[in-house]
Amino acid sequence: MKRVLKWAGYGLAGLAGVAAVAVGGGMAASEAMYRWPQAKPATRVVAATDPGAVARGQRLARAMGCNDCHGANLEGRMFDDIPNLATLYAPNLTRAVARQSDADLDRAIRHGVGSDGRPLWIMPSAAFADLKDAEMADLIAYLRSRPGSGPEQPHMKLGPIARVGIVLGQFHSEAAAIQAHENRQLPDLGPQYAAGRALARACVECHGFALEGSQSVLKTPDLGIAASYDREDFVRLLHTGVAAGDRKAGLMSDIAPRRFKGWSDAEIGRLHDYLKARATRQVAAAATEGVAKR
């Protein structure tokens, strides 16, 4: 979602460039950049076949928001239409899996490279780049478990503002974003927090690679804010979307019940412990810096 909104914010700023780029053959340039072939990353992921795989994959898909864009049945849909910017369709995954190998699917999901070797632009692959091989195996088992149904979706349509954004380097493909962030991972706070850290990957799409929050068009807080929540309120936020003090918290309130309702209290507790430990470390680091400056 962040990617979509990030593009949306470019709207007016980009307009000034539209005429210049249109005159200068921007249509062809943006088309070439949009389709620029990517190296196909190596992958050895194979769909899992054990009895629990499909259910685990489905749970992961829900937490990662796949269904928010690709639809409850993965049949795909038009999920955003912003005049002059783009009309966005998420592909019908029940049809895509029939044409694509497990490796193709992994490259799309974790590397941002389509089966035709072109970069993906809207699919938030950068937020999924850190999924483990075993998780991908479950996810692909789930995708393959759905019977083929519904029509193929059209490709997304780019408007003039999106083309200007691409030519001017304001919009980056997911493949490029992943390459640029290759070494950025969530802070590792030791084995006792590993389970909570794994769950926190579901927050990266909007709260950023290091959970530092985002000041772009979609404004999200640093997840240090979780330390100000007691356990009960934090569970309630993730299960129902109601923030501490009985507030509604924008997009967070909409997506939390859709994505995180299925998480147990114990899991949310481990996520909370991780976020609190991260906040404690931030405070300690800030204090040390303060001392050093004196």
User: Which residue ranges make up the site for ligand HEC (CB under 6 A)?
Assistant: 1, 4, 61, 64-66, 68-70, 88, 90-91, 93, 96, 105, 108-109, 114-115, 120-124, 128, 139, 156, 202-203, 205-207, 218, 220-221, 223, 225-226, 237, 243-244, 249-252, 255, 260
Cα–Cα distance for residue pair 229/235, rounded to 1 Å = 9
Choose among 227, 131, 222, 112: nearest CA to 173: 112
Closer residue to ligand HEC, CB minimum distance, 70 or 164: 70
CB distance 292 to 102 below 8 Å: no
Closer residue to ligand HEC, CB minimum distance, 70 or 291: 70
Cα–Cα distance for residue pair 118/108, rounded to 1 Å = 10
What minimum distance in Å lies between the beta carbon of 19 and ligand HEC?
26
What minimum distance in Å lies between the beta carbon of 29 and ligand HEC?
18
What minimum distance in Å lies between the beta carbon of 132 and ligand HEC?
13
Number of residues that this document lists for the chain: 294
Give the CA angle between residues 218, 221, 227 to the nearest 5°.
155
Closer residue to ligand HEC, CB minimum distance, 10 or 121: 121
Q: Which residue has the tokens 């810096």?
A: 289
Closer residue to ligand HEC, CB minimum distance, 67 or 84: 67
User: How many CA atoms does the CB half-sphere of 132 hold within 13 Å?
Assistant: 10
Closer residue to ligand HEC, CB minimum distance, 21 or 122: 122
What minimum distance in Å lies between the beta carbon of 46 and ligand HEC?
15
What minimum distance in Å lies between the beta carbon of 133 and ligand HEC?
14
CB distance 205 to 65 below 8 Å: yes
Cα–Cα distance for residue pair 167/51, rounded to 1 Å = 48
Cα–Cα distance for residue pair 136/125, rounded to 1 Å = 12
Closer residue to ligand HEC, CB minimum distance, 141 or 292: 141
What minimum distance in Å lies between the beta carbon of 34 and ligand HEC?
9
Write out the two tokens for 178: 């992943």
